[in-house]
């Protein structure tokens, strides 16, 4: 039985706590949060200082559900004590932080919560690519159109700031989609971004809209991500193969081939939390603990995230110049 702690008990922590309560080999033993009422929300040992929790509790692993900029230093503190780390996205907001996460992974297991990699339709598309089912990949396009208001950013003092969030629509809401695109495309040879603030100008420092262009070996990938829409619409990713177009939208996969459309629904685990977070959290977290238990490599370890993080940081550096 793994004794687990959660650091940061805001909204997303509820998903982690629920999964930990449902897995047979995990026990939520302690939580840390600067706000005492949040640290005690799950009925386990509560701490205001995560370092004191790491020292006092004999934990096997911790989940980092804290603001983005804190992930690297917290991962390093846990790994220094031999405690495995499962971190929310993004694992870091700059190159120095990313190097710190990778050094932590050399001391203890580290996993990243890219739960959408576990969606059956995503895995099916990876199979199409591997088996050359529909011929060569010709292009990819994706849309992430969600709704974030000034009130959303005002509710947390770390959001909307370069120093603590690391960016806006791209690094926070659309990073999962960027990760999937790179999983399909591979590490791009070319990566360019245009960042803008269409609706929240004056309310936040970071972008609410990002237009991304990637290219690998002549295969283009386009992504539009914006927080300025009227609702949190399902993410759409489309793969253009030589012999078919595969479109993923929410839990639906559409295969368009020879002028005919075939829709393939997907049955997944129940969605925990908000619908647009997807249904992969339980599979993602369960797989992390299987890897810790068996010593086998975790699918979402830092090495598997290298291309995504390198591209993400490159896009921000290029766009901000």
Segment 187-200, tens digit of pLDDT: 999 999 999 999 99
Residues contacting 130, CB < 8 A, separation 6+: none
CB atoms within 10 A of CB 159: 18
What distance in Å separates the CA atoms of residue 196 and residue 228, rounded to the nearest whole number?
11
In 3D space, the residue among 174, 155, 171 whose CA is nearest the CA of residue 309 turns out to be 171
Looking at residue 227, what is its pLDDT?
Answer: 96
> Among residues 109, 151, 90, which one has the least CA distance to residue 2?
109
What mean pLDDT value characterizes the chain?
95
What's the pLDDT at 251? 86
pLDDT for res 250: 87
Using CA atoms, how far apart are residues 151 and 135, in angstroms rounded to an integer? 47
To the question of domain 2-113 being in CATH 3.10.20.30, the answer is no
Q: Do domains 2-113 and 116-269+302-320 have the same CATH topology?
A: no
| 116-269+302-320, CATH topology level | Dihydrodipicolinate Reductase; domain 2 (3.30.360)
Domain ranges of the chain: 2-113, 116-269+302-320
pLDDT 10s digits, 268-302: 666 554 555 566 899 999 999 999 999 999 999 99
Q: What pLDDT is stored for residue 264 in this prediction?
A: 86
Q: pLDDT tens digits for 202-228?
A: 999 999 999 999 999 999 999 999 999
Instruction: In whole angstroms, give the CA distance from residue 260 to residue 264.
Output: 13
Question: Per the omega criterion (within 30 degrees of 0), is the bond before 112 cis?
Answer: no
Q: Which of 60-69, 142-151, 212-221, 270-279 has the lowest mean pLDDT?
A: 270-279
Q: What is the pLDDT of residue 41?
A: 95
Q: Do the Cβ atoms of 111 and 291 come closer than 8 Å?
A: yes
Residues 182, 171: contact at Cβ < 8 Å?
Answer: no
């Amino acid at each position: 039985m793994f004794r687990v702690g959660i650091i940061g008990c805001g909204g997303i922590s509820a998903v982690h706590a629920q999964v930990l309560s449902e897995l047979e080999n995990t026990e939520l033993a302690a939580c840390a949060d600067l706000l005492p009422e949040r640290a005690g929300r799950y009925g386990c040992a509560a701490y205001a200082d995560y370092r004191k929790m790491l020292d006092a509790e004999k934990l096997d692993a911790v989940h980092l559900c804290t603001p983005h900029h804190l992930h690297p230093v917290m991962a390093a503190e846990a790994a220094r004590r031999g405690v495995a780390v499962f971190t929310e996205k993004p694992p870091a907001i700059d190159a120095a932080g990313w190097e710190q996460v990778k050094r932590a992974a050399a001391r203890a297991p580290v996993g990243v919560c890219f739960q959408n990699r576990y969606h059956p339709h995503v895995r099916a598309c990876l199979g199409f690519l591997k088996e050359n089912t529909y011929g060569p990949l010709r292009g990819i396009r994706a849309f992430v159109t969600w709704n974030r208001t000034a009130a959303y950013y005002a509710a947390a003092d770390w959001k909307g700031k370069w120093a603590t969030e690391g960016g806006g629509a791209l690094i926070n809401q659309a990073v999962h989609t960027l990760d999937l695109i790179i999983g399909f495309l591979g590490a791009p040879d070319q990566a360019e971004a245009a960042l803008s603030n269409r609706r929240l100008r004056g309310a936040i420092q970071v972008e609410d809209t990002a237009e991304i262009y990637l290219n690998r070996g002549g295969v283009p990938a386009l992504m539009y991500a914006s927080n300025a829409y009227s609702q949190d619409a399902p993410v759409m990713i489309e793969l253009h193969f030589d012999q078919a177009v595969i479109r993923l939208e929410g839990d639906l996969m559409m295969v368009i081939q020879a002028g005919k459309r075939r829709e393939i629904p997907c049955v997944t685990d129940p969605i925990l939390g908000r619908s647009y977070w997807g249904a992969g959290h339980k599979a993602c977290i369960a797989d992390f603990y299987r890897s810790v238990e068996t010593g086998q490599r975790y699918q979402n370890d830092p090495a598997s995230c290298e291309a995504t993080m390198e591209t993400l940081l490159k896009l921000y550096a290029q766009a901000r110049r």
